[in-house]
């Protein structure tokens, strides 16, 4: 998988995308992360990338021309499965959406700032708009990092145990069951006996039941 990320603040993406599982995926050659500074496509000697919005109002807007030029240059080098814009009013990021995107080869991700990007880019270039929640952040970099992480861990070979992702919350529209590790008794808090039984079918049945009950209690909307 190749990710191309357009941003005004490349440094915000260095930490989240170059440690732990992400870095191991990069080292294995399973993913490529390429961060593009939009200011390199800015206009004039000041490399302008934003301007006041038509009609008045507070807040600046990211301009058409720098974004168009940056995207055009990237598209001249390869085709993209999706051109994605991270925005609070986009489609909610879900596990099923991450699963679908993980089947691609090349994703181009646009990180907004200020009041967002000129609507004409959204209307004519962007394929998919994604939100990570019903709240507003200072920019699209952290949402982009969340999206990349959620996709990357689904790519075969990224996790040391590939079956691990299959039992994550939301993979089957249920929350994951409780998990325990040693010791079996800590401060009088004990691990459920079934997990110590060694009986695989009983353990599987218990986990399925716990997943259902936890989902019913915490996220009943998923059961619909």
What one-character DSSP code corresponds to residue 10? T
User: How far does Cα 172 stand from its chain's mean position?
Assistant: 19
Q: What is the CATH number of domain 2-152?
A: 3.40.1280.10
50 and 75 in contact (C-beta within 8 Å)? no
CB atoms within 10 A of CB 124: 9
For the stretch 156-209, pLDDT in tens is: 999 977 555 655 656 678 999 999 999 999 999 999 999 999 999 999 999 999
* Phi, then psi, of 155 in degrees rounded to 5: -75, 130
CB atoms within 10 A of CB 170: 16
| Per CATH, domain 169-223 is 1.10.1270.20 | yes
The pLDDT > 70 percentage for the chain reads: 95
- Residue extent(s) of CATH 3.40.1280.10 domains in the chain: 2-152
- Residue extent(s) of CATH 1.10.1270.20 domains in the chain: 169-223
For the stretch 103-127, pLDDT in tens is: 999 999 999 999 999 999 999 999 9
Indicate whether 2 pLDDT > 60: yes
* Phi, then psi, of 84 in degrees rounded to 5: -115, 135
Which of left, alpha, beta for 80 (phi over 0: left; psi -120 to 50: alpha)?
Answer: beta
């Amino acid at each position: 998988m190749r990710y191309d990320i357009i941003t005004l603040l490349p440094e915000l993406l260095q930490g989240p995308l170059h440690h732990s599982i992400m870095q191991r995926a990069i080292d294995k050659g399973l993913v490529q992360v390429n961060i593009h500074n939009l200011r390199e496509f800015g206009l004039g000697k000041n490399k302008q990338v934003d301007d006041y919005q038509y009609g008045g109002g507070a807040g600046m807007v990211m301009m058409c021309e720098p974004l168009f030029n940056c995207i055009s240059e990237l598209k001249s080098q390869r085709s993209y499965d999706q051109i994605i814009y991270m925005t609070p009013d986009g489609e909610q990021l879900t596990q099923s959406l991450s699963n679908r995107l993980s089947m691609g080869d090349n994703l181009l991700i646009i990180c907004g700032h200020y009041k967002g990007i000129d609507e004409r880019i959204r209307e004519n270039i962007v394929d998919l708009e994604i939100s990570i929640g019903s709240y507003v952040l200072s920019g699209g970099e952290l949402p982009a990092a969340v999206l990349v992480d959620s996709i990357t861990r689904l790519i075969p070979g990224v996790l040391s145990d590939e079956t691990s992702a299959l039992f994550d919350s939301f993979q089957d529209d249920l929350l994951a069951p409780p998990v325990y590790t040693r010791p079996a008794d800590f401060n009088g808090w004990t691990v459920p006996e079934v997990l110590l039984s060694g009986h695989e079918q009983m353990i599987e049945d218990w986990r399925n039941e716990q997943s259902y009950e936890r989902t019913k209690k915490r996220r009943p909307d998923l059961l619909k």
